[in-house]
A = this chain, B = another copy of it.
Amino acid sequence: MRTSAEENYLKAIFSLAEQSGKGASTTAIAAHLRTKASSVTDMVKRLNEKGLVDHRPYYGVSLTDTGTQVATLIVRKHRLWETFLVNHLNYRWDEVHDLAEQLEHIDSDELHDRLDKFMDHPKFDPHGDPIPDREGRMVDMAGAQPLSEVAKDTLVHIVGVKDSSPAFLKLLDGLGLKLGTQLTVNRRFEYDNSVEVSSRFRSGLLLNEQVSLNLTVKAL
């Protein structure tokens, strides 16, 4: 039996490892979960005893194989619920995260398989993130890169967001940018690493570095 606190920690360690490639630090986990470092140390100790993480004190934490498996299935549930909320209950993509944060802890594989089937096995969630299947497999995002790294005059389309905070998503809505939107980088400015892009509907749209780093695109 796993508790939702444990599950939140596993998911945090999972996503920090995914980003950095390395093990997660105590402070990084604490920041991610808005908790204190001492609480993290305690929980990591428990997760270690349950065989879900490896921990070298004063170095870092990483998921074991079973830990990774568990975390992946929680991510699956999170993304399935987000997809359901947007596609069937008419939520916007900037509204669903916190709700999915609760719903992901519902303890029933059967329910989530049925939800998956009900939605016809979606491959991506509303933020472009791949939805793992029952066995934890998900489509790999090869070819996806941040807009900030795209060469001039290459036609790309938006396939995801690295930051899915409501604030960022609302900004994108305001600019008319969403998943699938086709873009070309017209100019790049060395001064502040801003880029000027054009879409079908807007041309000469200037995006600062913070935005272009967090927009994931793919060549067409």
Of A66-74, A105-113, A148-156, which binds chain B? A105-113
Counting chain B CB atoms within 10 Å of each CB, the highest count among A85, A106, A107 belongs to: A106
Instruction: Determine chain A's interface SS by DSSP, over half rule.
Output: helix
Closest to A107 in B: B102
How many whole Å from A7's CB to the nearest CB in chain B? 13
Please classify how large the interface on chain A is, using the bins under 10, 10 to 19, 20 to 34, 35 or more.
10 to 19
The answer to whether A89 touches B106 (Cβ under 8 A) is no
Given contacts A91-B114, A99-B111, 4 further A-B contacts (CB under 8 A): A88-B118, A89-B118, A90-B114, A102-B108
Q: Which residues of B contact A114 (CB under 8 A)?
A: 89-91
- A219 within 8 Å of B (CB atoms): no
Say which residue of B102, B107, B111, B118 sits within 8 Å of A106 (CB atoms): B102
- A37 within 8 Å of B (CB atoms): no
- A115 within 8 Å of B (CB atoms): yes
Question: 3 tightest CB-CB pairs across the interface, nearest first?
Answer: A89-B114, A102-B106, A89-B118
Alpha-carbon distance A111/B89, docked complex (angstroms):
8
How many whole Å from A8's CB to the nearest CB in chain B? 15
Q: Give how many copies assemble into the complex.
A: 2
Counting chain B CB atoms within 10 Å of each CB, the highest count among A90, A108, A111, A115 belongs to: A111
Q: Which residues of B contact A111 (CB under 8 A)?
A: 85, 89, 99
- A172 within 8 Å of B (CB atoms): no
Render A76-100 as a binary contact track against B, CB cut-off 8 A, 1 for contact.
Answer: 0000000001001111000000010
15 contacts between A and B (CB under 8 A): A85-B111, A88-B118, A89-B111, A89-B114, A89-B115, A89-B118, A90-B114, A91-B114, A99-B106, A99-B108, A99-B111, A102-B106, A102-B107, A102-B108, A103-B106
Closest to A111 in B: B99
Alpha-carbon distance A102/B118, docked complex (angstroms):
20
Closest to A108 in B: B99
Alpha-carbon distance A108/B95, docked complex (angstroms):
12
Q: Which residues of B contact A99 (CB under 8 A)?
A: 106, 108, 111
